[in-house]
Amino acid sequence: MRKVFLTLLAILTMAYVHAAEKKVIRISTDNTDLVLQVADNGRLYQVYYGDKLLHEADLQNFDWYVHAGSDGSISRRGWEVYAGSGNEDYFEPAVAITHNDGNMSTMLKYVSSEQKAVDGGTETTIRLSDDQYPVDVTLHYIAYAKENVIKAWSEIKHNEKKAVTIWRYASTMLYFNAQSYFLTEYHGDWAKEGQPATQELQFGKKVVDTKLGSRAAMQAEPFFELGFDGPARESEGRVMLGTIGWTGNFSLTFEVDNVNNLRVIPAINPYASDYLLQPGTVFTTPEFIFTLSDNGTSQASRNLHDWARRYQLNDGMGDRLTLLNNWENTGFDFNQESLAALMREAKDLGVDMFLLDDGWFANKYPRKDDHAGLGDWEATRSKLPDGVPALVKSAKEAGVKFGIWIEPEMVNPKSELFEKHPDWAIRLPNRETYYYRNQLVLDMANPKVQDYVYSVVDNLMKENPELAYFKWDCNSPITNIYSPYLKDNQGNLYIDHVRGVYNVMRRVKENYPNLPIMLCSGGGARCDYESLKYFTEFWCSDDTDPYERLYIQWSMSKFFPAKAMAAHVTNWSKTTSVKFRTDVASMCKLGFDIGLQSMTAEELDFCRTAVDNFHRLKPVILDGEQYRLISPYETDHMAVNYVSTDKSKAVLFAYDLHPRFQGKTPAVRLQGLDAGRMYKVTEINLMPQDNTLAPGQPAKEVTSEDGKIYSGDYLMKVGLNVLTPKEGQSHVFELTAQ
C-alpha cells in the first residue's frame, strides 16, 4: 500500500514539475537578452535584461518575484512588465483606466504571444487582458539583432459599453537592479539644445517631461543616458540609451523603489490628457527605442546610428544634399532677382542645392516679418512675380536643385486662412489669446486641418514637380489649449494633435517617397525617431556659433547619426575663422547659410575645397562609424573620428576651443581603425595660403602629422599630436589605408 502511495506521489510530483515549466518569452539581440516570464498568478513579469545568456536552460532558473534590494531584502511583488493600477504595486503604473462602472483598477493577465521575423530583427507580440473588464493590451517589441537595439510600443483596446478614460499609457516599462543609477538628461532652450545634466537617482521619481504640445523638445529632449553603478562613461561601463518617438508632450519617468530597483517608464505625458477611448478603437503608444552597452555610451551610440540608418530614418541608406540656405543671410529681404543670384552663388560654392527659407508667401498679408502670412502658402506677387516655378527654373539655369521652407501646422491671425477658418486654430474661446512668435498652432486633431496641411506640400509639388527638398519648421508651442473640433473631449487634444501631425507626415512620405525633408522646429525642438521615419534629417539648433555647436553636436550625436543632423556654416560667430566654422559643420550634413560676398577670395576658395572634400568623404562621415574621442565638456578641446565600414578610410576632426595657459594638449588616440593596416595621414580643409608655402616649410596651421604613415595600432594606442594651445583652431585629417 505504502509502495503504491509513493509511486502515485512520484507520478504526481513529475506531473507537477512538468506543469511547472515556466512560460518564458525571450527578446534577444546578438549581445543582450530581455527575458519575461508568465508567473503562476497568470501575470507577466520582467525577470532579466542584460548580457546575452549562453544557455537556454538557464531561462527556467528565474523567479518572477526574486529581486533582491541592495540591502538583501526580497521584493515579492515582482517586476510586472505592464503594471496596472489599483493593485499591490504601489509605484508608477504603465496603464491606468477608469472603467464604465467607475472602477479605476486594471490588472492584466497573459493570454498569448508570438514571434516573427521582420526587417532587421524579430518582432515579439504579447497579448494581455483584464479578466474583470474587456480590456486588451498588446505589447510589441522589435529586437534588432546586429545593432542590439530594441523598439517597444503598446496598444490598448477595450470593449466596454461606452468610452473609458485612460490616464496612464506607457510605451513600455523596464526594470533594473544595480547598486546605483546615474541619469543624464538633456535639457535646453532656443539656441541652447542638448545640454546634459547628470544626477544620481535616489528613492522616488525623477520625471523629464514637456508640456509644450508642439515644438515640444524645446526645453526637455526626448532622450536620455543611464549609467549603472556610476555615471555613464564614453568607452567603458554599462550604459543604456533611450529615446521616445513622440513630437508632443512626452514623459520619461525614472522611479527608484523601496528596494533600490529602478523602473523606467517612457510615455506620452498624461498632463491634461485624460483620454476618452471609444470601444473598439486602438490606442497606440509612441515607440520607445533603447540599447544597452557594456562598453560605454560610444558603442551604444553606434548601435543607434546603425539601427537608425538601416531601419528608421527616411532614406537612411541614401545620399544627402549639401546646400546654401538664405535665412541667416537675407532674412525676409529678398526678391526673384536676388534669389537667382544666390542660386548662382550656390553653384559657385559647389553645393547641390539652394534652399529658400521663410518669407516667400502670402499676398493679402505678405510675410515680410514674422507677424503675418503663415497659412497662406502662395508666393508673394510683389516679391516673386513669377512664383515658385520661376525660382525652380532659375535654380535649374544656375545648375543647382531647389528646396523651400514651410511651416504648415501654423497660422498667423493676420492671414486669409485665419479669416476664413478661425476655428482651425487651437485657441481658448473664453480667455485672452497668448501668442508665441505672433502665431497659433493649427488644430491637427481635425481631419480637415490635416488635409489642408497635407495640401501645402501637395500643391507645391503638383505645381513644381522638380522641387527637390523641403524644410518643415514648427516655431510655436501650443499656447491656448482648446480644440474647437474636439468640443467636450478636450482631454484628447494633446495626443490627437500629435497623431494628426504624424498622419500628415506619413501621407507626405507615402505620396512623395523620394522627397528629402528637414525637420526643423525653431532650431532643434523636434528630434524624435517617429518624425524621422518621414524626414531625412533634422536641424539641431539655430545656434551655429561653432564653439556652441561642438557641444550641441556632441550631445545629439549620442542619439542620432551624423547623416540625420543638419549643420550649417553661418556668420553667427564672425570672430572664429571660416575654416573653424566649416570644419564644425562638416562633421554632420554640411550646408551653408551665409552671404558668400561676406568672405574673402581665400575663404571662398577654402569653402569650395571643403565642399569637395565633404562630397568625397560623405561615405565615411555620414555612413561610417563614429567615435567621440575628446569631449568639449571635459577638456578645452574636442575630437571625433569617423571610420568607413571597410576601415579603409577615416576622417579625424580635432578642435582647440579656449585652451588655458599651458593647458594640456594630449595626443589624440583614434578608434575603430584596423590595427594591422598602415594609414597615410593627410591634412585636408586647409586655407589656401597654407598650400602656397614652400615644400618642407611648416605652414601656420598645418600640423606636423601631415603626410605621415602610421599603423592603425599606433594611431589607436599612441595617437596623433594634433591639438594646439591656440584658441579656435581646427584640423581635419583624411586617413587612407595603404
Hey, what's the cell of 603? 575663404
How far apart are CB 436 and ligand DGJ at their closest, in Å?
12
Using the rule CB under 6 A, which residue among 97, 156, 406, 520 binds ligand DGJ? 520
How far apart are CB 372 and ligand DGJ at their closest, in Å?
13
# chain residues binding ligand DGJ, by CB under 6 A: 11
How far apart are CB 565 and ligand DGJ at their closest, in Å?
14
Given the rule CB under 6 A, which of 32-40, 67-75, 516-524, 630-638 is the region that contacts ligand DGJ? Answer: 516-524
Which residues in 39-65 are b (16+ Cβ under 10 Å) and which e? beeebbbbbbbbeebeeeeebeebebe
Q: Of the two residues 473 and 636, which places its CB atom closer to ligand DGJ in the complex?
A: 473
How far apart are CB 425 and ligand DGJ at their closest, in Å?
19
- Is 475 a binder of ligand DGJ (CB under 6 A)? yes
What span, in angstroms and rounded, lies between the C-alpha atoms of 265 and 82? 10
Given the rule CB under 6 A, which of 179-187, 519-527, 610-618, 654-662 is the region that contacts ligand DGJ? Answer: 519-527
Q: Of the two residues 209 and 542, which places its CB atom closer to ligand DGJ in the complex?
A: 542
The distance in angstroms from the start CA to the end CA of the chain is 85
Q: Of the two residues 27 and 584, which places its CB atom closer to ligand DGJ in the complex?
A: 584
Alpha-carbon distance values, 253 to 87, 317, 321, 560 (Å): 20, 33, 38, 22
517 and 321 in contact (C-beta within 8 Å)? no
653 and 732 in contact (C-beta within 8 Å)? yes
397 and 361 in contact (C-beta within 8 Å)? no
Question: What is the Cα Rg of the chain in Å?
Answer: 28
What span, in angstroms and rounded, lies between the C-alpha atoms of 313 and 311? 6
Q: Of the two residues 144 and 360, which places its CB atom closer to ligand DGJ in the complex?
A: 360
Using the rule CB under 6 A, which residue among 130, 225, 473, 545 binds ligand DGJ? 473
Using the rule CB under 6 A, which residue among 80, 92, 357, 376 binds ligand DGJ? 357
How far apart are CB 476 and ligand DGJ at their closest, in Å?
11
What span, in angstroms and rounded, lies between the C-alpha atoms of 28 and 48? 11
Q: Of the two residues 265 and 519, which places its CB atom closer to ligand DGJ in the complex?
A: 519
Q: Of the two residues 410 and 720, which places its CB atom closer to ligand DGJ in the complex?
A: 410
How far apart are CB 356 and ligand DGJ at their closest, in Å?
10
Q: Of the two residues 485 and 539, which places its CB atom closer to ligand DGJ in the complex?
A: 539
Q: Of the two residues 106 and 553, which places its CB atom closer to ligand DGJ in the complex?
A: 553
Alpha-carbon distance values, 738 to 617, 626, 669 (Å): 17, 21, 19
Neighbouring C-beta atoms of residue 429, cutoff 10 Å: 9
Binding mask 315-354 for ligand DGJ (x = CB under 6 A): ------------x---------------------------
Q: Of the two residues 358 and 705, which places its CB atom closer to ligand DGJ in the complex?
A: 358
Neighbouring C-beta atoms of residue 190, cutoff 10 Å: 17
Given the rule CB under 6 A, which of 252-260, 375-383, 520-528, 558-566 is the region that contacts ligand DGJ? Answer: 520-528
Coil vs helix vs strand at 712 = helix
Q: Of the two residues 211 and 568, which places its CB atom closer to ligand DGJ in the complex?
A: 568
Given the rule CB under 6 A, which of 120-128, 518-526, 606-614, 675-683 is the region that contacts ligand DGJ? Answer: 518-526
Binding mask 559-598 for ligand DGJ (x = CB under 6 A): ----------------------------------------
What span, in angstroms and rounded, lies between the C-alpha atoms of 444 and 195? 30
What span, in angstroms and rounded, lies between the C-alpha atoms of 429 and 423? 10
Using the rule CB under 6 A, which residue among 373, 516, 522, 712 binds ligand DGJ? 522
Please say whether the dihedral angle defined by the alpha carbons of residues 342, 344, 349 and 355, taken in this order, is positive or negative: positive
Hey, what's the cell of 417? 486662412
Residue with CB nearest ligand DGJ? 358
How far apart are CB 462 and ligand DGJ at their closest, in Å?
24
**Are β-strands 220-228 and 181-187 bridged in parallel, bridged antiparallel, or unpaired?**
antiparallel
Given the rule CB under 6 A, which of 60-68, 111-119, 515-523, 696-704 is the region that contacts ligand DGJ? Answer: 515-523
Binding mask 270-309 for ligand DGJ (x = CB under 6 A): ----------------------------------------
How many CA atoms within 13 Å lie on the side-chain side of 223? Answer: 27
What span, in angstroms and rounded, lies between the C-alpha atoms of 79 and 650? 45
How far apart are CB 324 and ligand DGJ at their closest, in Å?
13
- Is 405 a binder of ligand DGJ (CB under 6 A)? yes
Q: Of the two residues 361 and 733, which places its CB atom closer to ligand DGJ in the complex?
A: 361
- Is 377 a binder of ligand DGJ (CB under 6 A)? no
Alpha-carbon distance values, 150 to 62, 571, 724 (Å): 22, 41, 41
- Is 537 a binder of ligand DGJ (CB under 6 A)? no
Per DSSP, helices labelled H in 446-492 are 447-463
* Segment holding 591, helix H or strand E: strand 589-592
- Is 636 a binder of ligand DGJ (CB under 6 A)? no
- Is 606 a binder of ligand DGJ (CB under 6 A)? no
Backbone conformation region of residue 555, classed left if phi is above 0, alpha if psi is from -120 to 50, else beta: alpha
- Is 408 a binder of ligand DGJ (CB under 6 A)? no
Given the rule CB under 6 A, which of 253-261, 517-525, 579-587, 644-652 is the region that contacts ligand DGJ? Answer: 517-525
170 and 80 in contact (C-beta within 8 Å)? no
Hey, what's the cell of 5? 502511495
Using the rule CB under 6 A, which residue among 84, 222, 286, 523 binds ligand DGJ? 523
How far apart are CB 96 and ligand DGJ at their closest, in Å?
37
- Is 260 a binder of ligand DGJ (CB under 6 A)? no
What span, in angstroms and rounded, lies between the C-alpha atoms of 589 and 323? 9
How far apart are CB 692 and ligand DGJ at their closest, in Å?
37
Amino acid 492 reads N
Q: Of the two residues 527 and 684, which places its CB atom closer to ligand DGJ in the complex?
A: 527
Binding mask 541-560 for ligand DGJ (x = CB under 6 A): -x------------------
Coil vs helix vs strand at 485 = coil
Q: List beta partners, residue 639.
A: 630, 654
Alpha-carbon distance values, 311 to 144, 308, 460, 561, 661 (Å): 9, 5, 29, 12, 47
Per DSSP, helices labelled H in 248-315 are 296-307
Sheet holding 44-51, edge to edge: 23-28, 32-38, 44-51
Give the binding site for ligand DGJ (CB under 6 A).
Answer: 327, 357-358, 405, 473, 475, 520, 522-523, 539, 542
